């Protein structure tokens, strides 16, 4: 039985390594000053965590907007990044409205460009609104799913479903 479990554990590790080849995890872009991200996580009804990694020491700024209207910044949060933070900036934005779509830009003072992110806050705890989400697994295993010239076509299909999150 132990030998059987060891074989299964080994196969799981091998399959996980095949799922996330190093060249698909992140693409470095030194013109923006941001080498990884942005990413959004820990989204609740009134807050979200925003994350990005810089290509060098400096200040990363997250500007948050309601919807996709980038004319009026709802809030702006900056964080200093350096070698001790692994050039990673993480901020929690709170005071947000439940069940609301937000977009944000992230910039690094060492770069000329910004990157974009988006999220939708969860409904309030007393709201019975349903949510729609999509799920994917085993992306890129064994070299399938991704055309090197056009990218991951499955993401366009997933996005067309207009999920609340994925």
**158 and 104, same structural domain?**
no
Is residue 24 pLDDT above 60, yes or no?
A: no
Mean pLDDT of the chain: 79
**121 and 44, same structural domain?**
yes
What's the total number of domains in the chain?
2
Q: Could you tell me if residue 162 is inside a domain? A: yes
The CATH number of the domain where 70 resides is what?
Answer: 2.60.40.380
- What is the per-residue pLDDT across 35-77, written as a single tens digit (0 to 9) for each? 999 999 999 999 999 999 999 999 999 999 998 888 889 999 9
pLDDT, greater one: 147 or 17: 147
- What is the per-residue pLDDT across 118-141, written as a single tens digit (0 to 9) for each? 999 999 989 887 778 888 776 666
Distance in angstroms (rounded) separating the CA atoms of residues 162 and 26: 24
Position 73 scores a pLDDT of 92
**164 and 116, same structural domain?**
no
Distance in angstroms (rounded) separating the CA atoms of residues 117 and 16: 27
Q: What band does 154 get if pLDDT is binned at 50, 70 and 90?
A: confident
Q: Could you tell me if residue 56 is inside a domain? A: yes
**70 and 151, same structural domain?**
no
Query: Considering only 7-11, 18-22, 113-117, 122-126, which range has the smallest mean pLDDT?
Result: 18-22
Q: Could you tell me if residue 18 is inside a domain? A: no
* pTM of the predicted protein model: 0.68
**136 and 80, same structural domain?**
no
Q: Which residues pair with 66 in a beta bridge?
A: 102
pLDDT, greater one: 21 or 94: 94
The radius of gyration computed from the CA coordinates of the chain, to the nearest angstrom, equals 19
* Domain, as residue range, for 65: 28-128
**124 and 51, same structural domain?**
yes
Of 25, 31, 40, which is closest to residue 152 (Cα–Cα)? Answer: 25
Q: Could you tell me if residue 158 is inside a domain? A: yes
């Amino acid at each position: 039985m132990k030998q059987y479990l060891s074989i299964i554990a080994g196969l799981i590790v091998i399959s996980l390594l095949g799922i996330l080849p190093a060249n698909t995890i992140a693409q470095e872009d030194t013109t923006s000053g941001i080498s990884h991200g942005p990413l959004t996580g820990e989204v609740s009804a009134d807050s979200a965590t925003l994350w990005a990694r810089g290509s060098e020491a400096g200040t990363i700024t997250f500007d948050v907007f309601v919807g996709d209207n980038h004319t009026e910044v709802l809030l702006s949060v900056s964080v200093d990044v350096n070698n001790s933070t692994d050039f990673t900036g993480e901020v929690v934005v709170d005071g947000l409205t439940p069940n609301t779509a937000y977009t944000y830009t992230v910039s690094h003072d060492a770069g000329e460009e910004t990157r974009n992110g988006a999220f939708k806050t969860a409904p309030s705890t007393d709201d019975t609104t349903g949510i729609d989400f999509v799920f994917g697994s085993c992306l890129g295993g064994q070299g399938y799913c991704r055309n090197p010239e056009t990218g991951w076509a499955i993401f366009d299909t997933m996005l067309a479903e207009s999920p609340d999150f994925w």
